[in-house]
Amino acid sequence: MSVAELAGQVAGKLTETVRSVEVMRRAGLVPFPRLDEGVRSLVAIRKYGPFAGANHIAARRDSTAVGIVDDLGPLTFKQLDDQSNALARAWSQRGLGPDSVIAALCRDHRGLVVTMAASGKLGARLLLMNTGFAKPQFADVAQREGVTALVYDQEFTGLLDAIDEGVDRYLAWVDEPAGHEIPVLAEIIASTDDRPLPAPAKPGGFVLLTSGTTGTPKGAPRPHTSALASAQFLDRIPLRAGEATFMGAPLFHGTGLSQFILSFALGCTVVMRRKFDPEATLRGVAAHRCTALVLVPTMLQRIVDLPKEVRDRYDTSCLRIIFVAGSALSPDLGNRANEQFGDVVHNLYGSTEVAVATVATPEDWKRAPGTVGRAPVGCRVALYDENGVKITKPHVTGRVFVGSGLSFGGYTDGRNKEIIDGLLSSGDVGHFDEDGLLFIDGRDDEMIVSGGENVFPIEVENLLVEREDVLEAAVIGVEDPDFGERLKAFVVRAEGSTLDEDGVREYVKANLARYKVPRDVEFLDELPRNATGKVLRTKLS
C-alpha cells in the first residue's frame, strides 16, 4: 500500500469517527457538555459489556427512571441493576463465571433482562436461544456451544430432557408458582446481597443464532462492540434519549436485541410483552406514549390487518419510528403501514452475521417503495459478480457484501462467510438504482433456474401480496423433467376470497415475464414461519 493510499484510509477513518460522534451527540448518547458522563459510560461498557454497562449508567443517571415495563409492571434501571448484582453474586457462589456459557430460553420479560445484565457482570458468555426451537435444534445448539447453565421459562420444560443433566437449570418465568425443584430467579435474587461484584477481567459478550430456516442455527458471537457502532443505527433512525420504545421483536433475535441495548443506552423505557398481540401492541404504544415500535414484518402485517375500528381505539400519534427488520418488507406492506401511521417506517437490512448494512428512511421509501435504502455511517455495501468483480452500474444484480463495525468474526464452529475486499457476504443478491438506493432481489441460494432463466421468488411474492384478496405468498422451485425447475406458489387467501389457481397464474402472467408464472399453485391457511417471521421454505413442497 502506498503512502498516499494509507493517508487516504486514515483520513477516511477520522472523518467517519467524527461523523459517528456527531450522530451520537444528536441522539443524546454523548452528554455534551458533561463529557465526564460520557467517559463513565465508556468505562462501564468496557467493564460489563454493552447491556450491563448501559443499564448501570442509566441507573446512576436517574435512580427513579423506569427501565422496562413487562407483563408484571414497571422496573426502574436501578432495580434492574440491583437485581442483576444479586443474581451475578448468587451465580458466582454457585461456580458460574468467565468460563461459563449461560443459555437463555426465554420470552421477553424481566427475567431475561436481569439474566442478560448478570451474565455481563460475571464475564460469562450469554447464548440467546430461539423460543421456537424444536427439541433436536435445542439439543444440537446446547451441545455445540458448550452450555453450562440454562435459564428458561416454565413453558419450555418439555425440551430439557434433550440436554445433559450436568447443566445447571434456573426458572426465569413460572406459570405455576408452587412446588418447584428448580431454583427460581426471583427467589434467588430476593435472598442474595445486591451489592456490586468486582468487574470481570473482560465482559463475556453475546452469542446470537442464525435464523436456522434450513437446518440447525449457527452461533454468531459478539464478544465486544465499539461504542461508536451505535451510530450505525442512529445515523438514519432518529431515536432520541429519554423516550419510550415498544419492543415487539423478540430479544433473542438481532433486531430486538440491538434496539433493546440501544434504547437502554439512551435511557429510554422499553415496553415489552411475553407474547406478541397486535391490538395489545397498539394499546401499549398509546398508554406509554412510545415514540418507537420495533417489529419484524409479520408483526407489522398483523397490525395493519386489524380492522380500522380497532386501530382507531388507540392514539398512536406519538410514533415517530416503526423500525422493521428481520426479513423482507414488501412494498405493499410498507405502503399500507405508512398510510395508517404516517411516514414513520424505517426499513433496516442486515443479518445476524453482518449486523447493519443499510437503512431505508421514510423519504427513501416514498421515492422507491421496497428499497432497503443506503448504508449509514460506519457501514459499506458493495455488489460483486460470481467471479468476484465489483459491480458499479445501476440495475445490475450482484452478490451483496457488507463492511460494518458490528460484523461478526466467524461462527462458533470456526467457519465464516465469504470475504471480498474486507467485506462480508450477506448471502443475498441485489441491485442499486440510479440514485444509489439498494434493493434486495432474494437469497443467493433461493434463486430458481427454470428453462435457463433466473427467477428470484421475492419478485413474484411481492406481486401476489399486492392483491387485496391475498394475505401471504411464497414461491419455491420444484423439480421439472423438461425445465429443470418450475415455480410453485403457496398462497394464503383473504377471508371471502374466490381466487383460484388459474386466477393466480393469469395475474402473474399479466404483470411479469412468462417464465415467472407459477405452474403449480397451492392454497394454505398460513405459511410456515420461524419465530422471527421468516418463511420456512423447507416445509413447503
* Residue pLDDT tens, the chain, 541 long: 555 545 555 455 656 666 766 776 776 766 655 555 556 666 666 777 788 888 988 898 899 999 999 999 999 999 999 999 999 999 999 999 999 999 999 999 999 999 999 999 999 999 999 998 888 889 999 999 999 999 999 999 999 988 988 999 999 999 887 677 899 999 999 999 999 999 898 877 888 887 655 557 777 665 555 555 666 778 888 989 999 999 999 999 888 998 998 899 899 999 999 999 999 999 999 999 999 999 999 999 999 999 999 999 999 999 999 999 988 899 999 999 999 999 999 999 988 777 789 999 999 999 999 999 999 888 899 999 999 999 999 999 999 999 876 666 667 666 667 889 989 898 899 999 999 999 999 888 888 888 888 888 999 999 999 999 999 999 999 998 888 899 999 999 999 999 999 999 999 999 998 999 999 999 999 999 887 778 888 889 8
User: Across the strands, what pairs with 396?
Assistant: none
Question: How far is it, in rounded angstroms, from Cα 345 to Cα 238?
Answer: 11
Question: How far is it, in rounded angstroms, from Cα 308 to Cα 428?
Answer: 36
Is residue 338 helix, strand or coil? Answer: helix
The DSSP 8-state label assigned to residue 417 in this structure reads: -
Is residue 504 helix, strand or coil? Answer: helix
The C-alpha cell of 317 is what?
400519534
Other beta carbons within 10 angstroms of residue 10's beta carbon come to: 10
Question: How far is it, in rounded angstroms, from Cα 285 to Cα 332?
Answer: 23
Of how many residues is the chain composed?
A: 541
Helix (H) or strand (E) holding 479: strand 470-480
Residue 518 makes CB contacts below 8 A (sequence gap 6+) with: 460, 475, 486, 487, 488, 489, 504, 505, 508
Pairing, β 269-272 against β 244-247? parallel
Residue 310 backbone phi and psi in degrees, to 5: -75, -50
Intra-chain end-to-end CA distance of the chain, in Å: 52
CB 426 within 8 A of CB 354: yes
SS3 of 9-23: HHHHHHHHHHHHHHH
CB 144 within 8 A of CB 412: yes
Q: Is 120 exposed, middle or buried (0-12, 13-18, 19+ CB in 10 A)?
A: buried
Is-same-fold flag (76-224; 368-444)?
Answer: no
Question: How far is it, in rounded angstroms, from Cα 500 to Cα 512?
Answer: 18
Is residue 272 helix, strand or coil? Answer: strand
Give the CA distances from residue 362 to residues 28, 126, 232, 311, 359, in Å, rounded to whole numbers and listed in that order.
Answer: 22, 35, 17, 21, 10
User: Across the strands, what pairs with 484?
Assistant: 480
Question: How far is it, in rounded angstroms, from Cα 251 to Cα 68?
Answer: 13
Question: How far is it, in rounded angstroms, from Cα 86 to Cα 195?
Answer: 7
Pairing, β 484-493 against β 470-480? antiparallel
- Answer whether the bond into residue 457 is a cis peptide, omega within 30°: no
Residue 283 makes CB contacts below 8 A (sequence gap 6+) with: 314
Question: How far is it, in rounded angstroms, from Cα 180 to Cα 203?
Answer: 32
The C-alpha cell of 481 is what?
423433467
Superfamily of domain 447-539: ANL, C-terminal domain (3.30.300.30)
Is residue 66 helix, strand or coil? Answer: strand
Residue type, 381: V
Give the CA distances from residue 216 to residues 133, 351, 509, in Å, rounded to whole numbers and listed in that order.
Answer: 10, 17, 37
Question: How far is it, in rounded angstroms, from Cα 20 to Cα 27?
Answer: 11
Other beta carbons within 10 angstroms of residue 388's beta carbon come to: 11
Strands across the sheet with 321-324, in order?
73-76, 66-70, 269-272, 244-247, 292-295, 321-324, 345-351, 355-360
Is residue 411 helix, strand or coil? Answer: coil
Burial 189-206 (b: 16+ CB within 10 A, else e): beebebeebebbeebbbb
pLDDT value at residue 31 = 61
CATH 1.20.1250.20 fits 368-444, yes or no: no
Domain boundaries, the chain: 76-224, 368-444, 447-539
Q: Classify domain 76-224 at the CATH class level.
A: alpha beta
The closest of 117, 102, 97 to 49, measured between CA atoms, is 117
User: Across the strands, what pairs with 169?
Assistant: 150
CB 531 within 8 A of CB 130: yes
Please tell me the pTM assigned to this model: 0.86
